[in-house]
Each structure stands twice: as C-alpha cells, then as structure tokens.
Structure 1
Amino acid sequence: MSQGNFLGTRKGLVIGTLSFTLFFTNSCGYNSIQVQDEQVKAAWSEVINMYQRRADLIPNLVNTVKGYAAQEKEVLIEVTKARASVGSVQATPEVLNNPELFAKFNQAQGQMTSALSRLMVVVEKYPDLKSDKSFIGLQAQLEGTENRIAVARNRYITSVQEYNITVRTFPNVITAKIFGYDVKPNFSVENEKEISKPPQVQF
C-alpha cells in the first residue's frame, strides 16, 4: 500500500469515527443526558445553599428566644439538636448518587422544619419577644429563606423527574448504562406540599 493510500485510509477512519461519535451522542441522547445531569446538580446546589442559609439563622434565633423564654428548654434543645443533625449529613453532590444518604438528608431537614414550627408556636406566648427588633429581623429572614427553600425543592423535583425519564427511556437507557448515568433520588411528591410549607412565622 502506497503512503498516499495509507494516509487516505487513515483519514477516512478518523472522519468515520468522528462522524459515528457525533451521530451516537446526538441520536442516542448523550448530550441530553449530560445537560439534564448538570441541571440536576445546579438545582441540588441551590437546595443545599438555601438549607445552609436557614441553618445559619438558627443560633441567633435560639439565643434571641432564650433571652425572653429561657424556661422553654425543651423546644430550644429540640431546635439545637435538629440543627446538629442537619450538620451531620454531608450534603455533597455525591448525595445524588446515594438514595440512602439522600433520605437521611431529607429526614434531617424535615425534623428541622418541624422543630422550627414548634418554636414559633412557643413564641406566641411571649408578646415582648414578638416585638423585639432582633427577633422581627430574624423572623423576616427565616420566612424569606423558607420560601426560597420551597422554590428550590420544586425546581429540584422537576429537574430530577425530567432527568429520570430521559435515562429510563429508549434509546437513552442504553447510553445511560454505557456512561454510568443512573436514576437520581427525589423528594417525595406525596408529602411535598406539607413538607415544603414554611413554619408559621407571621404574627
């Protein structure tokens, strides 16, 4: 085989390989899977940021309430423990590939929401606390954060639903298996309306 023919054959193989790769990634859903995977990660990052924002408010909130209602030890301890439980779960991107860890994270955040709701019920008994400027500011921040959490969770739910449908349907399911894209855990939609309901912080 002459050098010219060899180079021509090699060039043809390269072009053929590139053409096949482009065809495969487009027709078999690789690009779609990759884009949706990134969207899920972005949505999850926003969920984590909003929950961290809430956790950062807890120490000041507890200290402010304690200044007026130190005798309410049980609920104050409950909130503090719930925050510690939340902090014990490493909310890294790897959580998205670990349904058990994801469930643990979700449970811890649910307990935090419940503890905050009970704290707000206690606050109702202390008019001076309700009129405290520091508490009013924290109350407004908490309410805004809880609303952002609800929005972030809904975005995550939607992005995961779309991603999971993509990786489960043919021919994308083949591509997903080849490249290691698995279905991702999602928040329970059955109780989502109740779970994402912000604690009652309006007085």
Structure 2
Amino acid sequence: MGTAITLIIILVVIVVIIALIAMGSYNGFVKSRNLIQESWRQIDVELNRRYELIPNLVETVRAYAAHERNTLEDITRLRSQAQSVAQSDGALPSQQRADVEQALSGAVHNLIVSVEAYPDLKSNQNFLELQRQLAETEDRIAAGRRFYNANVRVYNTRVESVPSNLIANMFHFEKATYFEVNDPSVRQAPSVSFGEIAYRGDPQQGQLPPQQSAPPVQFGGGADSMPNPQQQYAPPPQQQGQYQPPQTGGYQPPQQ
C-alpha cells in the first residue's frame, strides 16, 4: 500500500514538472510572437509613410523627366500592389508582402539614381525634400528590419528545437517569415568619386614628376645666391684722396 502511494506521488510530481515546463514553453512562444508582431508594426508604419511619399515623388519627377515614364509606372504599380497585399495580410507579413516591398524598394532606388542625369530636377527644392524624407524612411525601415529579423530568428529557433517543438506543434506555433532585401542594387552603397588627389608620373616610366627646386634666396644686397661660408673676408682697397695716418712714431714738440 505504501509503495503504491509513493508511486502515485512520484507520478504526480513528474506530471506537475512536465506541466510547468510546457506552460513555460508556451508562454515563451506567446511572448516571442508578440515581440515579433510589435517589431513588425514599427516597420509597417514606415512602409505606410513611404506609400504616402511616393505619389509626390512620382509627380515631381514626371514634371522634369518625361523619359522616365516606364520607371514611374512601375513604381505606381508596385505601390498599389504593396498596399493591396498589406490589407490582406494578418499581424505578420507574408512572403508575398516581403517580395513586393523588396521590388518597390528597388524601383525607388533606381529612380533616385536615374535622376542624376537631370540637373534641374536635382536642384528642385521639392524633390530634395522628398529625397531626404525617403532616405530617412528607408533608414528607419532598415533598422526596424534588423530588429524584426533578430526576433524572428529567436522564435524560429525555438519552433525547430527540441523539446519546445512539441509545444509548437501541439499549439500550432508556425515559423515566421523574415523580411529581407536580397536585391544587390538596393544593398549597394552609392559610389562617391573625389577625383584624382595624387600626382601621376610618366605612364611609360611609372615615376613621379621631378620636383622643382626652390628659388634662390634674395638678400638686401641684391646677390643672386647665398654667400659662400668658406670665403674669407677681404677689406676694401683704399682709394686715393682719403686720409692716411703718418708713418713716423710718437709726438715731437715744435722747434723754437
């Protein structure tokens, strides 16, 4: 009788421990999922801000660069598509949302690069302000994307790990989607050219041009060069008509 009670107590203790572990794992999944949703809402705010800036950018560029019609039409189409996917998505982004936002980022990036051929547009204050706001928005999107992807990585690791994957399968915690930019043109930093800052020598000899010697130092006496320090000083010759001291010796009194 006592052995049976002991076994029952041991089984109860084991069940309680398993229940506590399962409860902790479940709460961890809920916390991670809420953190992912919160970090995604920050990105979604910046994406909606970009939706608002793009029409003004398109109209400004259209007034100065009519030849960019195809690029402007692509941006308008991708913006409408992104808004449509955003409305149909749930609390977390789908892979379709990530793909269309990536395409929209690439189209806006290409448009900003193409306006380098239009000096009037580059000096337009409205365009410069829109470009600045878009750049700030893209920076915030990139920062939010890094934070979001870090949370997704932690969450997905728990979904796939043992024994937390048992709780994930039991309560249908599925893997979240990363929000990444895989387009090399979007990742590439703009090139900056500062021109040539070094001398170039003879292309055949590969040497630097000879340095020019410094000009001779001019002194007050009008000499063309510095005096030779080894040359001894020679007194000037005596000229005629100058006073010369007598050759005889000491003082002689006058004759009486």
1:86 aligned residue: 82
2:70 aligned residue: 74
Q: Does 1:158 align with 2:121?
A: no
The change in CA–CA distance for 1:92 and 1:36 in structure 2 (over 3 A counts) is farther
Distance in 2 between the 1:107 and 1:23 partners? Answer: 38
SS of the residue corresponding to residue 162 of structure 1 reads: helix
Contact 2:106-2:186 within 8 A present in 1 as well: no
Q: Does 1:181 align with 2:173?
A: yes
Q: Which protein, 1 or 2, shows the higher relative CO under an 8 Å CA cutoff with sep ≥ 6?
A: 1
Distance in 2 between the 1:46 and 1:195 partners? Answer: 24
TM-score normalised by L of structure 2:
0.61
Task: Name stretches of at least 5 consecutive residues in structure 2 with no aligned partner.
Answer: 1-14, 193-256
Q: Does 1:197 align with 2:187?
A: yes
Question: What amino acid does structure 2 have at the position aligned with 1:69?
Answer: A
Q: Deviations over 1:157-180 (max 9, x none)?
A: 110110011122222112222222
SS of the residue corresponding to residue 54 of structure 1 reads: helix
1:122 aligned residue: 114
Distance in 2 between the 1:84 and 1:145 partners? Answer: 18
The change in CA–CA distance for 1:198 and 1:65 in structure 2 (over 3 A counts) is farther
Contact 1:43-1:156 within 8 A present in 2 as well: yes
Contact 1:37-1:163 within 8 A present in 2 as well: yes
1:35 aligned residue: 31
Which is further off, 130-139 or 17-26? 17-26
Distance in 1 between the 2:142 and 2:66 partners? Answer: 31
Contact 1:117-1:199 within 8 A present in 2 as well: no
- Give the aligned length: 177
Question: What amino acid does structure 2 have at the position aligned with 1:124?
Answer: E
Question: What amino acid does structure 2 have at the position aligned with 1:34?
Answer: V
2:50 aligned residue: 54
Q: Deviations over 1:83-138 (max 9, x none)?
A: 12212213566363xxxx72211111121112112211221111111111111111
Task: Name stretches of at least 5 consecutive residues in structure 1 with no aligned partner.
Answer: 1-16
Distance in 1 between the 2:20 and 2:148 partners? Answer: 30
Question: What amino acid does structure 2 have at the position aligned with 1:78?
Answer: D
- Percent identical among aligned pairs is 32
Distance in 1 between the 2:127 and 2:168 partners? Answer: 50
Distance in 1 between the 2:102 and 2:53 partners? Answer: 16
Contact 1:53-1:145 within 8 A present in 2 as well: yes
TM-score normalised by L of structure 1:
0.75
Distance in 2 between the 1:72 and 1:23 partners? Answer: 60
SS of the residue corresponding to residue 182 of structure 1 reads: coil
Question: What amino acid does structure 2 have at the position aligned with 1:166?
Answer: R
Q: Offset at 1:64? A: 0.9
